[in-house]
């Protein structure tokens, strides 16, 4: 990856990021996000991947003491709903919400995502 850049990774990402219907009907959005990823700094991307691979903060979740909403995409293969549920189960005052999307739910279903966030904020902060 460091020698070749992120083009191959970027070109294969949409099927992990979004459902097929979104990819078909929102090609310009998908292309823009692919382009953004393809032009990221490869060393920075590699460092982020490494950090995600070794980070394990599960034992610290109980220290979070503010209301938290863990959102899981029903079709997300990168971070499955079980991950969102684990977070919600291990943080006091946490809740889980699911949305019929893949990984980037705020882009794939912005209205649904925003409604989830608005309900959470209105319930917990207003």
Tens of pLDDT, residue by residue over 76-93, are 999 999 999 999 999 999
Longest Cα separation, the chain:
50
Whether residues 39 and 101 share a domain: the answer is no
Whether residues 48 and 105 share a domain: the answer is: no
The count of domains in the chain is 2
C-beta of residue 1 within 8 angstroms of C-beta of residue 38: no
Tens of pLDDT, residue by residue over 101-120, are 999 999 999 999 999 999 99
- Is residue 38 domain-shared with residue 66, that is, in the same domain? no
The answer to whether residues 8 and 67 belong to one domain is no
pTM of the full structure:
0.88
* Residues 76 and 108 grouped into a single domain: yes
* Cα(66)–Cα(107) distance, integer angstroms: 26
Domain residues for 13? Answer: 1-55
């Amino acid at each position: 990856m460091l020698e070749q850049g992120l083009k191959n990774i970027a070109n294969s990402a949409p099927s992990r990021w979004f459902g097929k219907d979104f990819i078909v009907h929102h090609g310009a959005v998908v292309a823009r996000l692919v382009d953004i990823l393809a032009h990221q700094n490869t060393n920075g991307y590699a460092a982020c991947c490494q950090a995600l691979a070794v980070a394990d903060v599960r034992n610290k979740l109980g220290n979070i003491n503010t209301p938290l909403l863990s959102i899981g995409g029903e079709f997300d293969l990168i971070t499955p709903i079980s991950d969102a549920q684990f977070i919600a189960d291990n943080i006091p005052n946490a809740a889980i919400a699911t949305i019929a999307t893949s990984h980037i739910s705020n882009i794939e279903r912005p209205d649904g995502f925003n409604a989830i966030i608005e309900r959470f904020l209105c319930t917990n902060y207003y």
